[in-house]
Structures are given as structure tokens and as C-alpha cells.
Structure 1
């Protein structure tokens, strides 16, 4: 029986899960998505593959767990950003800026890249459910602003954000230009 390093088995499992998710994010950040596998993660943390299967049945489960862990924090940042600006343009700008900030920072970049990776449908569905939390504040702002088809418009704005994030990551020196163009495209399109 493996030794536990916490006061309870539950606390040990929670700490071990935290270690695994942190190590998986680091592996992706250092070596890219292709380097992430259960075998590579097991080697990195010094855990046997059967021991790792107690936490994740597949790479898809691992990827979904990483993304799911980030989504509540991310959703909170989006929610907070949309509470201050008064008018619709300000709310859309706040949404775009916080989303691009999160999508291009080091902590969340691994989750973003992993979410875009080819996953099996059950893992994708888990991520879609969490991703809907990110759009909710924008949909509400669009509804409150009288925008027709607010859920559709929110998805389209998110599409702009996704493209802008890829462009900003490729050319960080052009990030402000990309943000300005994204803001103009989103806000002008709402009128």
C-alpha cells in the first residue's frame, strides 16, 4: 500500500491531483501538446502508470481535467471584468480584453491549447459545459443592451477573440493592433 503524505487519504489524493495537473501544464508549456501523455506525466512525477490511472483513465480525461480546473477561475475573471463598464461597448471591450489576457498568459495558455486539441466527444462535452460559463456574462450584457440574438452574437465575438489570441501569440509585438482591430470589429458589428 502506498504511503500517504497528508492527514487523510482524501487530502493526499487532492494534493496528488494538484501535483499531477501542475506537472501536466508544465509539460505542455515546456514541450508542447504532443509531449503530453500519461506515460510522460507518470515519468515526470515519479508515479507508476497504474497509479496514474487512479486519477485519469485516458489522455482525454487528463486534458478535460486541466481545462475544467481553469474554467471557474477564468469565468470569475470574465464576470468581474463585466461588472464595471457601464455601456455595451465598454462591456464588450472588457470581455475581449480579459479573454485575450487570459488566453495569452502562461497559466491559461496550456489549457487553451489543450482545449483546441483533438479530443473524444465525452471530454469535449465536459469542456463545452464549462466554456458556456465564460459566455454567460457577455450574453447577459448583450441582452441588457438590446442586441438581437445575444447568444449567437456572444459566440461570434468569442470567435473573434479566439482568432485574435492566435494572432497575438504569433506576433506579441502586434498584440495591441490585434486587440484594437478586434474591438472595432466586435463593437461596430453590434450596431
Structure 2
């Protein structure tokens, strides 16, 4: 059985545009999936990346055009400049970590609802009420938002370290136990093909 480690930031518009396709691909191939929320800004600093706001204007302009195109292609509505971006990704990341450790709900739905809250619903994913609502909507105990904060912080930091060590440099990023890596929601068809043995 194949396994996929899914490294992502809850601030990533491209992770939002992945929707729940990684979950669908994993299910189709009987693969397991582990969610690894990470600190994307720290990752950029250690792997040669630049935060969007610090990029050259030509790169910022291209990013906005690409986001608009990908939103159209995926059918997922997206606000190019959401009201609460950037915000603190830690609370939502800790909640995902706690939910994964506890179980009992739909992790894919939780991750997507948090990303959707930021990129389509103009909500602040650092707000406790927003995180609790996302947890509840995905079938988890909303009190997970306030539990295991130290453990969540430790895992979040460890995920970021692991990302650096394993050659991850962006979000979303999928690493298969075969050693193959796939960066970006637009590479999900390639992940699908790889798991099918065609690529």
C-alpha cells in the first residue's frame, strides 16, 4: 500500500485549489495520507523561496493571473486578495494536527474548509470561532481548537524541519513513499498517474 505525506500551509491558495483531489486519488489507489501542516514562511527562508509580498512585482502579477486561471479550471471560487491574508496560520495548523491525532472526523474536509474559509469566504483562520466551526463541520470535537497546543506547536515545528530535510520547498507538496515528489495542485494528475504505475 502506497503512502503519501502531504506538506502544506493553511495560508496557501494553491493548497486550497487542490480541493479534495489528493484524498480522492489516495482512495482510488488504496494509499494512506498523512497531513503535515508546516510554517511556509520559515520553509521559504530555508529553501531559497521568497514570501509573496517580497517578490518582484512581475512575479506578484503573474501569481495573481495564475490563481485566477486555476480557480476557473478547478471551479473553486477564490478571492485574489482576501481580507485576512496574511494571518497567523498556527491555530488552524494546530487544530488539524490535533484532529489527525484524535480521529473521528473527515480530515480532508477539515483541511479544505479551513483553506476555503481564508480564500473564498473572507474569514480569519486565526480566529478561534472560525477554527471551531471548521472542526465541527468536519465531524470533530470543536474543543480540539484549545487542546494539545504545546503538542501541536511541537509537531508543526517538526513538520517544517522534516519538510526541509525531505526536499519540500512549497505548498502543496506531496511526497510518496516511493521517493517521488509532486509540487503544486497542478501536479495532482501526475501523482495519480504515478500511483497507477503509469508515471
Shorter chain as denominator, the TM-score bin is under 0.3
Which one has a bigger Cα radius of gyration?
1
More helix by share: 1
Please, what TM-score do these two structures have when normalized by structure 2? 0.24
